């Protein structure tokens, strides 16, 4: 079965057609920069442009940088606050004619990793942290998703700021931090997660996962830490997977 997956991020909106049995993209990933400001109308235009690029007419899965309940956006992480309260799936379908299922973006990436990647065949508590414009998180217990955790917003009392304002990959780039400096920040954040949840595995996601060997040595935790295997395709694959499951309900 093939489904179009779309991954909405703070810096780019990406899409591709996914073979959900194999957990693989069967097309090249297509990316358009996220508009500034990231308000509903221009973002939906870009999502529609991605759907049109693939000449797609069927089901669409969309990973979105927000807490999502019943297709309604509840928070605004690195997008405009005007999204809050919007039924994004309905608006996308009205513009494109394609039935659409919305899911938190890192929940989507986590689904892909649990089904096809680093979390495959693992049980217990699995924590995924995606480091990008912000820090997105996904938590699984015995392979069941606990949705909309948004644990990148936990305050770091020692630094008097949210975790993602201290350790997101965008902060590394903006402050020109070395892998050592940034890796220690990531480790500090994950140590707090470890103390709160005692996970059995931590998966590092986001585009920075491809550079894991550059900061791996600074991960000094009791928990096993591994990079996501799907890299920056995880959100697309997981969004398509979530749409397939939702379509069966």
Q: What is the pLDDT of residues 122-163, one digit of tens each?
A: 999 999 999 998 999 999 999 999 999 999 999 998 899 999
Within this chain, do residues 162 and 73 fall inside the same structural domain, yes or no? no
The structure tokens listed for 130 are 């995606």
Asked if residue 189 belongs to a domain, the reply is yes
pLDDT single digits (tens) 50-106:
999 999 999 999 999 999 999 999 999 889 999 999 999 999 999 999 999 999 999
Within this chain, do residues 183 and 237 fall inside the same structural domain, yes or no? no
Is there a contact between 81 and 73 (Cβ–Cβ < 8 Å)? no
Within this chain, do residues 6 and 82 fall inside the same structural domain, yes or no? yes
The structure tokens listed for 53 are 């690029």
Asked if residue 113 belongs to a domain, the reply is no
Is there a contact between 182 and 147 (Cβ–Cβ < 8 Å)? no
Output the pLDDT for position 249: 47
Cα 30 to chain centroid distance, Å, stands at 17
Q: How far, in Å, CA of 3 to CA of 62, rounded?
A: 11
Total number of domains constituting the chain: 2
Within this chain, do residues 59 and 97 fall inside the same structural domain, yes or no? yes
Single out the residue of 113, 120, 158 nearest to residue 136, CA to CA: 113
Within this chain, do residues 71 and 164 fall inside the same structural domain, yes or no? no
Asked if residue 11 belongs to a domain, the reply is yes
Asked if residue 80 belongs to a domain, the reply is yes
Within this chain, do residues 12 and 91 fall inside the same structural domain, yes or no? yes
Within this chain, do residues 88 and 24 fall inside the same structural domain, yes or no? yes
Tell me the whole-structure pTM to 2 decimals: 0.94
Is there a contact between 134 and 168 (Cβ–Cβ < 8 Å)? yes
Q: How far, in Å, CA of 41 to CA of 26, rounded?
A: 29
Output the pLDDT for position 247: 61
Output the pLDDT for position 248: 52
Q: How far, in Å, CA of 54 to CA of 17, rounded?
A: 8
> Is pLDDT at 192 greater than 50 in this prediction?
yes
The crossing angle, in degrees rounded to 10, of helices 105-116 and 234-248 is 90
Within this chain, do residues 142 and 81 fall inside the same structural domain, yes or no? no
Per the structure, the complete domain to which residue 84 belongs is given by 2-107+233-248
Output the pLDDT for position 78: 83
Within this chain, do residues 201 and 243 fall inside the same structural domain, yes or no? no
pLDDT single digits (tens) 212-243:
999 999 999 999 999 999 877 899 999 999 99
Phi-psi group of 78: left, alpha or beta (phi > 0 → left; psi -120 to 50 → alpha; rest → beta): left
Three-state DSSP state, 202: strand
What percentage of residues in the chain have a pLDDT greater than 70? 99
Within this chain, do residues 126 and 93 fall inside the same structural domain, yes or no? no
Asked if residue 50 belongs to a domain, the reply is yes
Taking only Cα atoms into account, the Rg of the chain, rounded to an integer number of angstroms, comes to 17
- According to DSSP, the residues that pair with 17 across neighbouring strands are 4
Asked if residue 241 belongs to a domain, the reply is yes
pLDDT single digits (tens) 16-47:
999 999 999 999 999 999 999 999 999 999 99
Q: How far, in Å, CA of 134 to CA of 132, rounded?
A: 5
Domain of residue 218, CATH code:
3.30.420.40
């Amino acid at each position: 079965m093939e489904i179009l997956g779309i991954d909405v991020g703070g810096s780019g909106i990406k899409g591709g057609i996914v073979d959900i049995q194999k957990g693989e993209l069967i097309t090249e990933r297509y990316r358009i920069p996220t508009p500034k400001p990231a308000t509903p109308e221009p973002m939906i235009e870009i999502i529609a442009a991605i759907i049109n690029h693939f000449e797609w007419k069927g089901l669409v899965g969309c990973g979105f940088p927000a807490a999502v309940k019943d297709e309604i956006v509840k928070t605004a992480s690195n997008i405009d606050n005007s999204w809050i309260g919007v039924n994004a799936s309905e608006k996308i379908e009205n513009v494109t004619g394609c039935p659409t299922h919305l899911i938190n973006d890192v929940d989507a990436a986590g689904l892909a990793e649990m089904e096809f990647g680093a979390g495959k065949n693992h049980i217990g508590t699995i924590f995924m942290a995606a480091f990008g414009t912000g820090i997105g998180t996904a938590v699984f217990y015995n392979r069941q998703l606990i949705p909309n955790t948004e644990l990148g917003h936990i305050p770091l009392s020692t630094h008097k700021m949210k975790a993602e304002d201290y350790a997101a990959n965008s902060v590394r780039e903006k402050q020109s931090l070395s892998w050592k400096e940034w890796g220690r920040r990531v480790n500090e954040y994950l140590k707090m997660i470890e103390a709160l949840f005692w996970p059995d595995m931590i998966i590092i996601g986001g585009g920075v996962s491809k550079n894991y060997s550059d900061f791996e040595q600074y991960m000094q935790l009791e928990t096993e830490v591994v990079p996501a295997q799907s890299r920056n395709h995880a959100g697309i694959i997981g969004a398509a997977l979530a749409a397939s499951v939702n379509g069966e309900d």
